[in-house]
Structure 1
Amino acid sequence: MDDISTGILFSLLILLLVISGYFSGSETGMMALNRYKLRHLANQGHRGAKRVEKLLSRPDRLIGLILIGNNLVNILASAIATILGMRLYGDMGVAIATGALTLVVLVFSEVTPKTLAALYPERVSYTSSVLLQILMKLLYPLVWFVNGITNGFLLLLGLKVDNVHDGKLSSDELRTVVNEAGGLIPRRHQDMLLSILDLENVTVEDLMVPRNEIAGINVNDDWKSIVRQLSHSAHGRIVLYRDNIDEVVGMLRVREAYRLMMDKNDFSKENLLRAADEVYFIPEGTPLNVQLLKFQRNKQRIGLIVDEYGDIQGLITLEDILEEIVGEFTTSISPTLAEEITPQNDGSLLIEGSANIRDLNKSLNWVLPTDGPRTLNGLILEHLEDIPENRVSIRVAGYKMEIMEISDNMIKLVRVLPSRLKKTG
């Protein structure tokens, strides 16, 4: 080193600091990459993305290569800085060189390149991957040796390098990705994607038409009554039963009944029963994502939900599940949530007791409990443990409610006061 001029040593030191910055920036850029965007670009044939993806397939080797290079460069830079310090300042030069080099390395070889790489990881990674790929081939024996020692030490600690996370996202992680997509995905599409993810957490009972609201015809009624019910039906399909809804005999398409009406000779109770389709039963507790696939597989659009004893609990259609994903259809016959809520001038809300709790939470950003009854009427009755005879003011889950109307052992209308509405809004 004594034969090398001070100018050349300064040049070598600057070059080593640049190389150190290259390794530092490359490490941060590689680790800061969006792996899903990288995979997408690699599948599209992007050369830089392919190189980076190959290097990241074994992150232990990549990190080993970068750290070997960075440490070798930094140690060599420290030696040169010490020589320069002693030449310029004598024995005090060692301390001066150490302090000055630490500051320079920190600013120009660590913080600056790493910050730049964190801001522009794609540009840094795709460019640096060219040289890193070459270095990996040249220094592979050394990298393999160092990684062998490191992996052996990790193995003693009970850790296996091969057990690398495969990059698959859980449902909750996928929700976070969708929520943070921002303007990349329209809000409406984000809501639909989140609704699809939520299907596995919702069962058919949460969306079903309750047993007492199922449109059906008792085939044991007199013929004129049956014809009148068919003529005034607002539904596309009607349940046919004998005396009790649990004694279902078929699911009749109303248009098929109209076809029979056109031919008076064929229009009879026997032919009506013969034209009815076989009933499709659904066990209670079936998640919506499972039932959606079952509807598709069995080529069905409507089913009756039964409990463990075979009793009818409700009815659900394919459209009900699709509405859970895309929102309510304008052609829906059943009342919408907007029709069940009437805002008042004082800020309170008049809500029908049949309103679904999940829909209220979703639409109004409330936090009413959903692990029990599914309607507001059921929630209040569970809270009171009795059917009130007069108007009663109560507080349920922090929401102040006033029962306004009771009929047929059911709470028909509830007024929710604005005290809690302001807190949740």
Structure 2
Amino acid sequence: MDDPSTMFDAAFWMTCGAILLLLMMSGFFSGSETALTASSRAKLRARADRGDPGAEAALKVTEDSERLIGAILLGNNVVNILSASLATALFTRLLGSGGVALATLVMTVLVLIFSEVMPKTYAISSPETVASRVARPIRWVTLILSPIVAVVRLIVRGMLGLFGLKTDPASNMFSVHEEIAGALSIGHASGAVLKEDRDRLLGALDLGNRTVEEIMRHRSEIEMIDAALPATDILDRVLASAHTRLPVYREERENVVGVVHAKDLLRAVNKAVREGAEADGLRNFDIMAVAMKPYFVPDTTALDEQMREFLKRRTHFALVVDEYGSLRGLITLEDILEEIVGEITDEHDADDDQTLTPNAQGDYTVEGGMTIRDLNRQLDWTLPDDEANTVAGLVIHMAQSIPDQGQVFSFHGYRFEVVTRRENRITRLRVRPLQPVRPED
């Protein structure tokens, strides 16, 4: 047996110190990897904007994620393998050939606890803070190891290419929209975000993915003015309408020739009456003299683009046409804003309660023209709106026919009953989920 005085010499303690240092370096690499990959770039950007240089460094070092991960993994593997080799040599010196198994067991426990679990647990508890602290030393590591990492990247890409797989390090795994939507869903599920706030934010995010056709008022529901009507009839219709702007047509409703604003009309009528005899002034009044030129938009226009056009043109009203130029409906700036903030009503709107309440059987009575999106938002349902915009349209699409009154259907996990039908239109339905919906926390 070796003399203990020769076994525990300076070389022994230097080896122990080297193993301890390598374990600390391994913990640093493991914690840095977790912090830099788990941290939110949005939160780091907010910190950087407040003057945190560490957050700014973290943003820069995470721009090339493939290079970052390669450098960290290279450094981590080098120190882990080196520490395991030193431990094996140390235990072999102390215990002979039996020291190999003991060295493997001891180093597995040490690496697992002190180099993996503990630093990663600390890093994941506050990733942005840790990322800001480790970003600058990690940046130096990536610069030093960049030549080796570049070679490794070429080898990896070449091998993946043999299997037909391509990598794009510049692309993000998830879009910003998906990240925000996911964060809002998680926040709502945990109770940190109210349903109304979630709906408003998601509504604003979805404007670019939705078209005018999905929210427009159908042409069958548009109040219009016949240009051939006498001035007194036109004035009566405008005053009786709940809308400020009304399209004007000649001969047929498809032939829209202008849009009259109630305030412009009243000003013109007042001027005509004041300048001539009351009867003659109204008899000679021409509505086209005060009507604005109609503004037509394609039904495929994205909502965010249409909102920008409204603001640019300083108008709130547009007529929607299809690819053949036929009138489909109309859309207003208020319609787009309602997709964000919900239903907007004023003193001139119909005094209808927009809140849906179930009956004793759990059925909700809805109008056929109610959009699926509005129904989903109000009741937190998940009916698909890919093939139809309205509830009635969804039923017709799934039934592949126009159902009769009283018919019942079940699809997508919901029960639909046709309550009333007027000619070829389903005007009212009763809907309920087939499975009970859990109340929100």
The more displaced of 76-85 and 249-258 is 76-85
Deviations 1:375-396 (A, max 9, x none): 44555566373574xx423215
Secondary structure class of the residue paired with 2:436: helix
Partner of 1:112: 118
Contact persistence 1:151–1:160 (CA under 8 A) = no
Given the alignment, which residue of 247, 267, 272 partners 1:259? 267
Q: In the TM superposition, what is the alpha-carbon distance from 1:60 to its structure 2 partner?
A: 5.3
Q: Does 1:190 align with 2:198?
A: yes
Contact persistence 1:48–1:126 (CA under 8 A) = yes
Q: In the TM superposition, what is the alpha-carbon distance from 1:297 to its structure 2 partner?
A: 2.6
- TM-score normalised to structure 2 length: 0.79
State, as a whole percentage, how many aligned pairs show the same letter: 35
Alpha-carbon distance between aligned partners in 2 of 1:61 and 1:144, rounded to the nearest angstrom: 8
Partner of 2:359: 344
Contact persistence 2:250–2:256 (CA under 8 A) = yes
The more displaced of 70-79 and 285-294 is 70-79
Partner of 1:217: 225
Secondary structure class of the residue paired with 1:243: coil
Contact persistence 2:259–2:294 (CA under 8 A) = yes
Partner of 1:234: 242
Q: In the TM superposition, what is the alpha-carbon distance from 1:5 to its structure 2 partner?
A: 5.7
Partner of 2:53: 47
Q: RMSD of the TM alignment (CA)?
A: 3.6
Aligned residue type for 2:401? E
Query: Structure 1 pair 211/46, CA: closer, same or farther in 2 (3 Å)?
Result: same
Alpha-carbon distance between aligned partners in 2 of 1:97 and 1:313, rounded to the nearest angstrom: 78
Partner of 1:394: 408
Alpha-carbon distance between aligned partners in 2 of 1:272 and 1:399, rounded to the nearest angstrom: 50
Secondary structure class of the residue paired with 2:178: helix
Deviations 1:165-202 (A, max 9, x none): 36882533442233335577654333222112222333
Aligned residue type for 2:152? T
Partner of 2:3: none
Alpha-carbon distance between aligned partners in 2 of 1:161 and 1:310, rounded to the nearest angstrom: 45
Secondary structure class of the residue paired with 1:246: coil
- Structure 1 segment 360-371 matched on structure 2, within 5 A: 360-368=375-383, 370-371=385-386
The more displaced of 99-108 and 272-281 is 99-108
- Structure 1 segment 8-407 matched on structure 2, within 5 A: 8-59=14-65, 62-63=68-69, 65-67=71-73, 69-132=75-138, 140=144, 143-157=145-159, 158=161, 163-165=169-171, 169=175, 171-181=177-187, 187-263=195-271, 264=273, 265=276, 266-268=281-283, 270-331=285-346, 338-339=353-354, 343-368=358-383, 370-372=385-387, 374-379=389-394, 383=399, 385-386=401-402, 388=404, 391-395=405-409, 397=411, 399-407=414-422
Contact persistence 1:295–1:301 (CA under 8 A) = yes
Query: Structure 1 pair 423/395, CA: closer, same or farther in 2 (3 Å)?
Result: farther
Contact persistence 1:328–1:336 (CA under 8 A) = no
The count of corresponding residues between Structure 1 and Structure 2 is 418
Alpha-carbon distance between aligned partners in 2 of 1:339 and 1:286, rounded to the nearest angstrom: 28
Aligned residue type for 1:21? G
Give ranges in structure 2 of 5+ residues lacking alignment.
Answer: 1-5
- TM-score normalised to structure 1 length: 0.81
Partner of 2:434: 420
Query: Structure 1 pair 21/73, CA: closer, same or farther in 2 (3 Å)?
Result: same
Deviations 1:229-283 (A, max 9, x none): 2332322112222232122221111112222333413545544320111111122
Query: Structure 1 pair 412/181, CA: closer, same or farther in 2 (3 Å)?
Result: closer
The more displaced of 179-188 and 317-326 is 179-188
Alpha-carbon distance between aligned partners in 1 of 2:438 and 2:252, rounded to the nearest angstrom: 44
Query: Structure 1 pair 71/333, CA: closer, same or farther in 2 (3 Å)?
Result: same
Secondary structure class of the residue paired with 1:146: helix
Deviations 1:180-230 (A, max 9, x none): 355776543332221122223332232222222211222223444333323
Alpha-carbon distance between aligned partners in 2 of 1:371 and 1:136, rounded to the nearest angstrom: 46
Aligned residue type for 1:422? P
The more displaced of 354-363 and 62-71 is 62-71
Secondary structure class of the residue paired with 1:276: coil
Give ranges in structure 1 of 5+ residues lacking alignment.
Answer: none
The more displaced of 308-317 and 328-337 is 328-337
The more displaced of 68-77 and 288-297 is 68-77
Alpha-carbon distance between aligned partners in 1 of 2:46 and 2:299, rounded to the nearest angstrom: 41
